[in-house]
């Protein structure tokens, strides 16, 4: 047997959508996590109907690296349609657990094969033929428990947490789990090198999806109006919010203190958000790229009429319908400049579930402070996958409602007040809320002067647009600043969002394998704070990592920074729809540094995958 590989490998489970495999996969992920080992899970599922291929990858890494690993170390082959190709794409020395009738051991001699008669085993633990298809997946968890050394007690704990109060279902699946472990103990001889051993790196941590974290953040931010239209991969955010609001936002008589509305389309949803925001409510919607496109005209109204609201954009692969169940950062440029005419939107870009929670709160404060839409730019990988996190901090600061006119302000400002007049020099006017007894005004998307009166005068229009630009300048000191890690090096790396996790591992690879130290800046918001220009100026070569084809963030940097400031920036682009991995970044940077020849062979793990079925429930 090869030298043991402890707590540093990836497991890929290849099944069919709708087969109940997601439950088994989450039990596997949580079991390893409960053993104190850093883990991550990536679900690659098809977008149309049940019964088509799906892959779930669990990565365990003792050093805490949780980006997708490009290589698969241990394959669980349960899908006859993809099994042969999945096996042929593995690197030498890997292991395969497979359904015995597939006879995959005949394909290669340089892999370790573990055949398991799943149908025979499941028949001994489940008498209901209809349920066997679902229960069968728990058998491979049992087999893996024995082969990899995953504690059976942790497996049972994870399983019962997954099923909650469904004790009967939990007992049935526990039987399948034990049957799988027993079969492995009696019939399989371990010859692969992969194993887990207890660590203490996940104590006190939680596992949570980004969309769930964002929903919690929105609730703590005081959202009272949610208007949304279902679209993958954002739907689970308002769905989670519905559950939380029903539990925590009811009055003493059992009546809701909020309104959540499934609108007829994305255009209606953003219209409802703006109506509620104008009236003084904290309002939001959640969508993805196609919805952002449809919301463009209302985004212009919010910008020009200065109405607050929050939009969560859980980005997926476009254009058009694109790949609805694949991840990307493809809406950055579109959203930053969303709508016709001269518009600049505020973007917040989380990289972790902690930031999904925190930036959801920040978004509502910023929306009311700057009286415009604020977009939280998450993505499918962050939104729909499980991530490790420390427990969230309970909010302890008051809401920032921005410049809302009070009776005291009215006396102070007197005749100086106008709805769109810049009194303080920061570009932000005072607003009033209806039914508060404060001065009223017309809200219009057409030309207006400082008092909100209709105007087509060139000087009124230009004065208004210049003030809006000043407001954008003010926002630079209010949005979350970038996270900067300087280094004695000529090379700087810039990333944002979920690229962060691959970049962290890439930097470690560059230093360990090539002796290359790098500085790093993680962007967290647009417009860009002054630290961004300063970082770029400090380094001779700057690599900007993005999950889109057209280097969209680099476009924005060129637009916003002084001429020539980005001339030494280089792009590292990843846009195949799979979560970004460190090895691909490392190879790309080494090629651009002249230390490695270009790779003419596409990475096996980056192969195209037919994706045509609905997310497994």
| Long-range residue pairs from 89-93, CB within 8 A, at least 24 positions apart, any chain | 89/604, 89/605, 89/607, 90/604, 91/604, 93/2, 93/193
Specify the range with the lowest mean pLDDT, choosing from 68-77, 494-503, 605-614: 605-614
Q: For tokens 């992920």, what's the residue? A: 29
Q: Please write the tens of the pLDDT for every residue from 510-528.
A: 999 999 999 999 999 999 9
- The Cα 520–Cα 529 span in angstroms is 16
When the pLDDT of each residue in the chain is averaged and rounded to a whole number, the result is 94
**Does residue 425 surpass a pLDDT of 70?**
yes
**Does residue 245 surpass a pLDDT of 80?**
yes
- Please give the pLDDT value at position 604: 42
**CA atoms lying within 13 Å on the CB side of residue 93:** 9
Stretch 117-146: mean pLDDT = 93
CA quadruple 303, 304, 309, 313: dihedral sign: negative
Q: What percent of the chain has pLDDT over 70?
A: 97
Phi-psi region of 194 (alpha: psi -120 to 50; beta: other; left: phi over 0): beta
**Does residue 542 surpass a pLDDT of 70?**
yes
- Please give the pLDDT value at position 167: 94
**CA atoms lying within 13 Å on the CB side of residue 198:** 8
CA quadruple 121, 126, 127, 131: dihedral, nearest 10: -110
- The Cα 301–Cα 294 span in angstroms is 13
- Please give the pLDDT value at position 617: 27
Query: Is residue 355 very low, low, confident or very high in pLDDT (cuts 50, 70, 90)?
Result: very high
CA quadruple 163, 176, 11, 110: dihedral, nearest 10: -170
Stretch 346-371: mean pLDDT = 98
- The Cα 582–Cα 585 span in angstroms is 5
CA quadruple 157, 162, 167, 173: dihedral sign: negative
Residue 2 Cα to chain centre, angstroms: 37
**Domain extents for the chain?**
5-203, 209-389, 407-475, 483-606
**Does residue 177 surpass a pLDDT of 80?**
yes
DSSP characters over 210-254: HHHHHHHHHHHTT--EEEE---TTTTHHHHHHHHHHHHHSB-TTS
- Please give the pLDDT value at position 499: 98
- The Cα 336–Cα 131 span in angstroms is 49
Tokens of 34: 């409960």
- Please give the pLDDT value at position 354: 98
- Please give the pLDDT value at position 2: 77
- Please give the pLDDT value at position 406: 87
Q: Which of 389, 386, 388, 381 is nearest to 288 (CA)?
A: 381
- Longest CA–CA span in the chain (Å) reads 88
Query: Is residue 600 very low, low, confident or very high in pLDDT (cuts 50, 70, 90)?
Result: low
Query: Is residue 609 very low, low, confident or very high in pLDDT (cuts 50, 70, 90)?
Result: very low
Query: Is residue 599 very low, low, confident or very high in pLDDT (cuts 50, 70, 90)?
Result: confident
- Please give the pLDDT value at position 142: 98
Q: Which of 311, 378, 359, 380 is nearest to 339 (CA)?
A: 311
- Please give the pLDDT value at position 598: 87
- Please give the pLDDT value at position 49: 65
- Please give the pLDDT value at position 119: 94
- Fill in the DSSP letter of residue 281: -
* Beta carbons of 343 and 377 less than 8 angstroms apart: no
Q: Indicate if 483-606 has the same CATH topology as 209-389.
A: yes
The CATH number of the domain covering residues in 209-389: 3.40.50.970
**CA atoms lying within 13 Å on the CB side of residue 555:** 14
**Does residue 320 surpass a pLDDT of 70?**
yes
- Fill in the DSSP letter of residue 337: T
**Does residue 48 surpass a pLDDT of 80?**
no
Residues in contact with 196: Cβ distance below 8 Å, sequence separation at least 6, in sequence order? 6, 7, 32, 35, 37, 60, 148, 149, 150
Q: Please write the tens of the pLDDT for every residue from 89-100.
A: 999 999 999 999
Query: Is residue 1 very low, low, confident or very high in pLDDT (cuts 50, 70, 90)?
Result: low
Mapped onto helix, strand or coil, the DSSP state of residue 469 is helix
Give, to the nearest 10 degrees, the angle between helix 167-187 and helix 152-163.
150
Q: Which of 74, 106, 109 is nearest to 90 (CA)?
A: 74
* Beta carbons of 118 and 124 less than 8 angstroms apart: no
Neighbour count for residue 147 (Cβ, 10 Å): 23
Query: Is residue 126 very low, low, confident or very high in pLDDT (cuts 50, 70, 90)?
Result: very high
Residues in contact with 178: Cβ distance below 8 Å, sequence separation at least 6, in sequence order? 142, 152
**CA atoms lying within 13 Å on the CB side of residue 508:** 10
CATH architecture of 5-203: 3-Layer(aba) Sandwich (3.40)
Cis-peptide into 527, omega within 30 deg: yes
- Fill in the DSSP letter of residue 35: T
**Does residue 605 surpass a pLDDT of 70?**
no
Query: Is residue 417 very low, low, confident or very high in pLDDT (cuts 50, 70, 90)?
Result: confident
Stretch 413-420: mean pLDDT = 83
If you classify domain 483-606 with CATH, what class do you get? alpha beta
* Beta carbons of 404 and 432 less than 8 angstroms apart: yes
* Beta carbons of 352 and 389 less than 8 angstroms apart: yes
Q: Please write the tens of the pLDDT for every residue from 265-314.
A: 999 999 999 999 999 999 999 999 999 999 999 999 999 999 999 999 99
Mapped onto helix, strand or coil, the DSSP state of residue 194 is strand
- The Cα 74–Cα 12 span in angstroms is 6
């Amino acid at each position: 047997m090869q030298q043991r590989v402890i707590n540093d490998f990836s497991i890929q489970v290849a099944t069919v959508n709708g087969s109940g495999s997601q439950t088994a996969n989450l039990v596997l992920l949580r079991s390893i996590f409960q053993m104190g080992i850093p883990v991550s899970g990536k679900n690659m599922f098809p977008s149309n109907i049940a019964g088509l291929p799906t892959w779930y990858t669990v990565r365990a890494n003792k050093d805490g690296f949780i980006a997708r690993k490009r290589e698969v170390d241990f394959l669980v082959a349960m899908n006859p349609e993809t099994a042969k190709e999945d096996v042929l794409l593995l690197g030498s020395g890997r292991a395969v657990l497979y359904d015995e009738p597939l006879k995959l051991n005949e394909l290669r001699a340089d892999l370790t094969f573990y055949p398991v008669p799943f149908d025979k085993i499941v028949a001994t633990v489940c008498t209901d033929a209809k349920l066997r298809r679902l229960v069968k997946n728990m058998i491979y968890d049992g087999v893996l428990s024995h082969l990899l050394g995953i504690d059976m007690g942790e497996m049972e704990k994870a399983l019962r947490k997954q099923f909650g109060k469904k004790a009967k279902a939990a007992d049935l699946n526990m039987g399948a789990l034990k049957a799988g472990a027993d079969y492995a103990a009696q019939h399989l001889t371990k010859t692969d090198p992969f194993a887990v051993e207890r660590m203490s790196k996940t104590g006190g941590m939680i596992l949570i999806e980004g969309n769930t974290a964002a929903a919690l953040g929105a609730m703590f931010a005081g959202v009272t109006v949610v208007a949304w239209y279902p679209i993958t991969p954002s739907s689970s955010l308002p769905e989670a919010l519905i559950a939380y609001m029903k539990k925590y936002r009811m009055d003493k008589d059992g009546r809701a203190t909020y309104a959540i509305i499934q609108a007829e389309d994305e255009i209606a949803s953003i219209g409802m958000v703006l109506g509620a925001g104008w009236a003084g409510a904290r309002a939001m919607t959640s969508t993805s790229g196609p919805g952002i496109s449809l919301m463009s005209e209302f985004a212009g109204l919010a910008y020009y009429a200065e109405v607050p609201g929050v939009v969560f954009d859980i980005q997926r692969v476009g254009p058009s319908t694109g790949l609805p169940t694949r991840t990307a950062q493809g809406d950055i440029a579109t959203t930053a400049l969303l709508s016709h005419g001269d518009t600049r939107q505020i973007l917040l870009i989380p990289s972790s579930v902690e930031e999904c929670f925190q930036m959801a709160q920040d978004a509502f404060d910023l929306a009311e402070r700057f009286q415009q839409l604020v977009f939280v730019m998450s993505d499918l990988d962050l939104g729909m996958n499980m991530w490790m996190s420390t427990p969230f901090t309970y909010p302890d600061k008051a809401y920032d409602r921005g410049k809302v006119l009070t009776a005291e302000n009215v006396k102070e400002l007197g005749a100086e007040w106008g709805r769109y007049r810049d009194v303080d020099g920061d570009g932000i006017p005072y607003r009033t809320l209806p039914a508060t007894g404060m001065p009223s005004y017309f809200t219009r998307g057409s030309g207006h002067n400082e008092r909100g009166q209709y105007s087509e005068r060139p000087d009124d229009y230009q004065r208004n647009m210049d003030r809006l630009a000043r407001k954008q300048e003010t926002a630079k000191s209010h949005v979350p600043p970038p996270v900067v890690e300087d280094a004695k090096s000529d090379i700087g790396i810039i990333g944002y969002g979920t690229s962060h996790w691959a970049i962290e591992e890439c930097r470690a690879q560059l230093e360990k394998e090539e002796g290359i130290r790098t500085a790093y800046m993680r962007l967290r918001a647009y417009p860009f704070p002054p630290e961004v220009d300063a970082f770029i100026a400090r380094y001779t070569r700057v690599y900007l990592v993005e999950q889109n084809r057209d280097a969209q963030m680099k476009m924005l940097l060129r637009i916003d920074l002084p001429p020539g400031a980005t001339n030494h920036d280089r792009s590292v682009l990843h846009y195949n729809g799979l979560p970004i991995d460190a090895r691909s970044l490392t190879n790309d940077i080494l090629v651009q540094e002249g230390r490695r020849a270009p790779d003419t062979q596409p990475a096996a793990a980056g192969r195209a995958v037919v994706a045509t079925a609905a997310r497994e429930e």
